[in-house]
């Protein structure tokens, strides 16, 4: 690749998925949970909801926050540039040689097809990163971004030998 070659692999909606959506969802559920415990929600007769309902709401809030961390907050921005996979969490960026990519896995069962990239060596983001590729309409076939990244990794391995 020439020095000006930069190919964005992750969705331009990554910032929204990583920061905005979780913040709105968690804020809403925390406010709802607090209102439930404070007696802000009433049944048909005007009585506060039973405490077991409030505890259930708290459990849903915690479970939802964990799920959002696992599926959204961990997301990274990813692009190819000069034979490297560049990964950013918006605060820090690391360039990882493509020869250090051990595996590219796509979760096709998920609606946004997250791609997990596993590395041979530890990076500042750990041994794996997750990103959401650009959206597309065909859902039953492998995402072309996953295929492109796999091909770039194979090509980089051949050049390094």
How confident is the prediction along the chain (161 residues), in pLDDT tens digits per residue? 444 588 999 999 999 999 999 999 999 999 999 999 998 888 888 888 899 999 999 999 999 999 999 999 999 999 999 889 999 999 999 999 999 999 999 987 777 789 999 999 999 999 999 999 988 776 677 788 999 999 999 998 844 43
Distance from C-alpha of 8 to C-alpha of 137, rounded to nearest angstrom: 18
Model pLDDT, residue 138: 64
Model pLDDT, residue 1: 42
Q: Tell me which H or E stretch contains 63.
A: helix 51-68
**Within 13 A of 62's CA, how many CA atoms are on the CB side?**
6
Per the structure block, which two tokens stand in for 112? 């946004």
C-beta of residue 97 within 8 angstroms of C-beta of residue 121:
no
C-beta of residue 96 within 8 angstroms of C-beta of residue 85:
yes
Any bridge partners for residue 55, and if so which?
none
Question: To 5 degrees, how large is the angle CA 113–CA 118–CA 123?
Answer: 125
Model pLDDT, residue 108: 78
Model pLDDT, residue 143: 85
Model pLDDT, residue 10: 96
Model pLDDT, residue 2: 47
Q: pTM score, two decimals?
A: 0.82
Taking Cα atoms as reference points, which of 116, 102, 120, 118 lies closest to residue 145? Answer: 116
């Amino acid at each position: 690749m020439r020095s000006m070659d930069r190919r964005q692999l992750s969705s331009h909606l990554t910032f929204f998925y990583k920061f905005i959506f979780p913040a709105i969802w968690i804020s809403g559920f925390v406010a709802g949970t607090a209102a439930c415990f404070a007696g802000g929600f009433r049944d048909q007769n005007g009585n506060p909801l039973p405490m077991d309902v409030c505890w259930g709401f708290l459990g849903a809030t915690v479970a939802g926050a964990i799920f959002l961390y696992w599926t959204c907050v961990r997301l990274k921005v990813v692009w190819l540039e000069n034979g490297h996979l560049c990964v950013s969490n918006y605060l820090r960026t690391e360039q990882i040689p493509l020869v250090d990519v051990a595996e590219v896995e796509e979760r096709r069962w998920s609606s946004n097809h997250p791609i997990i990239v596993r590395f041979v060596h530890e990076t500042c983001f750990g041994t794996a990163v997750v990103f959401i590729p650009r959206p597309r309409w065909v859902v039953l076939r492998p995402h072309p971004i996953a295929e492109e990244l796999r091909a770039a990794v194979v090509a980089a391995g051949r050049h390094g030998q």
